[in-house]
Amino acid sequence: MTLRSPSFLDLETLLSQAEYHEIDVPVAMDIVETTVSKRSGGGKAGVGAIAVNGSAGSDFQYQSTYSLAPREKATVSRVIDGLIRENAVQVNPTGELALSKDVLVEIEGTARITAASVMSKVFFLFRRLMLSRDINDLNELANLDLEDTDVAEAIRQVYLQNELLPLPVLLELSGSPMPHKVYVNVRPDFFIDDASADRLEGDLCVLGSVSRLIPEGDYRVTDEWLLHGWEFLMRRIMMAQIQDDLEEVTQQLQRLGLHVPDDDVHAYLSGPAVVIDAIALY
């Protein structure tokens, strides 16, 4: 067992798992606080002949980071060691081990941010611009161009100044012992110190719980990452016609010098695959 230095840690969930499995926690630790603010919505949005009136509000959770002292790192490592020792965690499961929802796993591999998360930033920026410009028709998304002055400035802040956006990140984890694709869902908070997207790629060990199992021949849409923050019905409407939009955005990103693999995750995840909700990355 080694001392772990997490770059991401959902401490509250980790301690809840320890309590459930009756693992002693050596010392008490503070739980990071996040700020949530309300923004009201209204007006009409429509695609083609479909239009929706409403005034539902949206929650915006802003990404935050916090520090983990050396003693707290030791505490976290002991808690994880205890969970593994009590067989509460499946370590590097293979195809011989059946997984089920909510099972705890620890998997090593090489993480890469998927195109769905790369493009989610673009759609988030488009949505922010729609709100600032009071655009109510989703068809006007087609008029928002990456070379638009406001769009270009928003892109610069995100990609050059590393602005932290309130978006979950979908990682693909390759090189694990599992015979099918492994994806990791990372919430937009609980990063340690200055950790952000620049520490999400590369060789990682993921501790988390299985949230979705996608059988072979089945698929799951990626709207919860790609269109995070959009109203539920709007997400469904947009996902029905978004593939052409994704191809256009991909081409524009590539013209700006950002490479997005053609075979990467875009509108859906195809099985066989497993999605893990991250509790800790180290």
pLDDT tens, per residue, the chain with 282 residues: 788 989 999 999 999 999 999 998 865 444 344 333 333 333 333 333 223 333 333 333 345 566 777 778 888 999 999 999 999 999 999 876 779 999 999 999 999 888 888 888 878 887 777 776 665 555 555 555 666 677 777 777 666 655 667 889 999 999 999 988 999 999 988 888 765 556 788 999 999 999 999 999 999 989 999 889 888 887 887 787 776 667 666 666 666 666 666 567 678 899 999 999 999 999
Bridge pairing between strands 44-47 and 169-174? unpaired
Task: Report if residue 60 sits inside a domain.
Answer: yes
Helix or strand or coil: residue 249? Answer: helix
Cβ atoms of residues 107 and 178 within 8 Å: yes
Task: Report if residue 3 sits inside a domain.
Answer: no
- Structurally, the chain folds into a number of domains equal to 1
Helical segments of 86-206, H only:
115-132, 149-159
Task: Report if residue 205 sits inside a domain.
Answer: yes
Task: Report if residue 24 sits inside a domain.
Answer: yes
Cα 85 → chain centroid? 29
Task: Report if residue 1 sits inside a domain.
Answer: no
Q: By residue range, what is the domain housing residue 249?
A: 8-281
Task: Report if residue 2 sits inside a domain.
Answer: no
Task: Report if residue 129 sits inside a domain.
Answer: yes
